């Protein structure tokens, strides 16, 4: 692997700040509809903040491979529109009340309007992507959408029951890592780089996305509501078994397994409390197991960049995995 020094957070921000502001402007302009409710909901989602990690990855992928055109601004807005559409649909499916410390859009506008606004955002993303006049871009976005829909349906079928680690990995790839992978691949497509380079960028994005979701799931169990901006242990309350929970189910006693399965089945902490579940996870080092797995994915992401020429943009890409595994929300 390259011995190139890893960038700092400030260096990465300075490297991308102008382009990220351009993406915000593009997203704002693209999310305007003649129907006020769509414009209002889209604006609310955009103003909700977030890390903008997916458009940042697209920018870094494109720039690290020599691209500097307007396509990366358009497609940066596209991946953020797709991400926003998935968030509004997720909140409806999960009956979520909050998102990033604010009321979720569906609590303000209702499920029906938010479903349609999410659908509109998906279609608007494809409309903007058409400006690239590139079938590979559309192929990636279509495959991405199919994977994410499949992920939601699989998760719904598995609610309330234990799943294997392989099933968990397949699920988080569809729900999260696939969009990271496609963001990186789109950068290669813009730069007109060969298929091997696109695959390597995709491998980076996939591994990074897996790490991101595993850390997200650990934080859901361990962080505070003030930090998360949503209720803690939401996954367990919704009947979702994440990696640390799966590890405890595989390694715990029959009584411990029954306690966890009770929470998954009941989708509440009335019979078994959240602290009791955390105690089980700590006894079996299940949270450490999940975090170590995230670290392994983060390292795999860095290794995927081995053939990428050294540049400030590569340094930034080498920094991102550290940011993903060290974050607290």
Query: pLDDT of 172-187, one tens digit each?
Result: 999 999 999 999 999 9
Parent domain of 91? 9-326
Amino acid 5: pLDDT: 63
Residue given tokens 């410390």 in the structure block? 101
Radius of gyration for the chain, computed over Cα atoms and rounded to the nearest angstrom: 20
Q: How far, in Å, CA of 2 to CA of 222, rounded?
A: 35
1 lies in some domain: no
Amino acid 4: pLDDT: 64
What is the per-residue pLDDT across 10-53, written as a single tens digit (0 to 9) for each? 899 899 999 999 999 999 999 999 999 999 999 999 888 678 99
Tokens standing for residue 301 = 């992401």
Q: Angle CA(154)–CA(159)–CA(162) in degrees, nearest 5? A: 100
43 lies in some domain: yes
Most distant pair of Cα atoms in the chain: their distance: 59
Residue given tokens 């055109």 in the structure block? 69
Over 90: is that where the pLDDT of 73 sits?
yes
Candidates 45, 3, 7; CA nearest to 24 is 45
Q: How many domains does the chain have?
A: 1
Element (DSSP H or E) covering residue 99: strand 98-99
Q: How far, in Å, CA of 211 to CA of 194, rounded?
A: 26
Tell me the pLDDT band of 2, cut-offs 50, 70 and 90: very low
Tell me the pLDDT band of 201, cut-offs 50, 70 and 90: very high
197 lies in some domain: yes
2 lies in some domain: no
Candidates 74, 56, 66, 67; CA nearest to 13 is 56
Q: What is the mean pLDDT of residues 200-206?
A: 98
Q: φ, ψ for residue 84 (rounded to 5)?
A: -65, -40
Over 90: is that where the pLDDT of 220 sits?
yes
Amino acid 328: pLDDT: 81
Q: Quick one: DSSP state of residue 98?
A: E
Q: How far, in Å, CA of 210 to CA of 70, rounded?
A: 29
Number of H helices, E strands in the chain: 17, 2
279 lies in some domain: yes
Q: What is the mean pLDDT of residues 207-225?
A: 95
Amino acid 183: pLDDT: 98
264 lies in some domain: yes
178 lies in some domain: yes
4 lies in some domain: no
Amino acid 3: pLDDT: 45
CB 224 within 8 A of CB 328: no
Domain containing 152 — which CATH number?
A: 1.10.600.10
Amino acid 30: pLDDT: 96
Amino acid 185: pLDDT: 97
Over 50: is that where the pLDDT of 212 sits?
yes
């Amino acid at each position: 692997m390259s011995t190139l020094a890893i960038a700092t957070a400030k260096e990465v921000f300075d490297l991308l700040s102008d382009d990220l502001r351009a993406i915000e402007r593009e997203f704002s302009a693209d999310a305007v509809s003649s129907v006020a409710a769509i414009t209002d909901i889209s604006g609310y989602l955009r103003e909700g903040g977030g890390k903008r990690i997916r458009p940042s990855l697209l920018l870094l992928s494109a720039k690290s491979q020599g691209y500097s055109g307007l396509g990366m601004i358009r497609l940066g807005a596209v991946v953020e529109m797709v991400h926003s559409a998935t968030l509004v649909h997720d909140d409806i499916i999960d009956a979520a009340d909050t998102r990033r410390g604010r009321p979720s859009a569906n609590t303000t506008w209702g499920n029906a309007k938010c479903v349609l606004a999410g659908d509109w955002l998906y279609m608007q993303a494809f409309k903007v992507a058409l400006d690239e006049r590139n079938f590979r871009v559309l192929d990636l976005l279509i495959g991405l959408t199919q994977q994410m829909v499949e992920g939601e349906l699989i998760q719904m079928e598995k609610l309330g029951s234990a799943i294997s680690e392989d099933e968990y990995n397949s699920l988080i790839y569809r729900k999260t890592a696939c969009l990271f992978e496609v963001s990186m691949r789109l950068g290669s497509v813009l730069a007109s780089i060969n298929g091997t380079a696109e695959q390597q960028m995709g491998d980076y994005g996939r591994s990074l996305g897996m790490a991101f979701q595993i850390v997200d799931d650990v934080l859901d169990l361990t962080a505070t509501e003030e930090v998360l901006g949503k209720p803690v242990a939401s996954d367990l309350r919704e009947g979702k078994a994440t990696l640390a929970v799966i590890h405890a189910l595989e390694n715990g006693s029959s009584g411990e397994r029954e306690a966890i399965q009770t929470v998954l089945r009941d989708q509440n902490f009335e019979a078994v409390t959240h602290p009791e579940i955390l105690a089980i996870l700590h006894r079996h080092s299940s949270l450490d197991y999940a975090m170590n797995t995230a670290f392994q994915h983060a390292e795999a992401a860095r290794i995927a960049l081995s053939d990428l020429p050294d540049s400030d943009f590569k340094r930034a890409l080498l920094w991102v995995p550290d940011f993903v595994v060290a974050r607290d929300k």
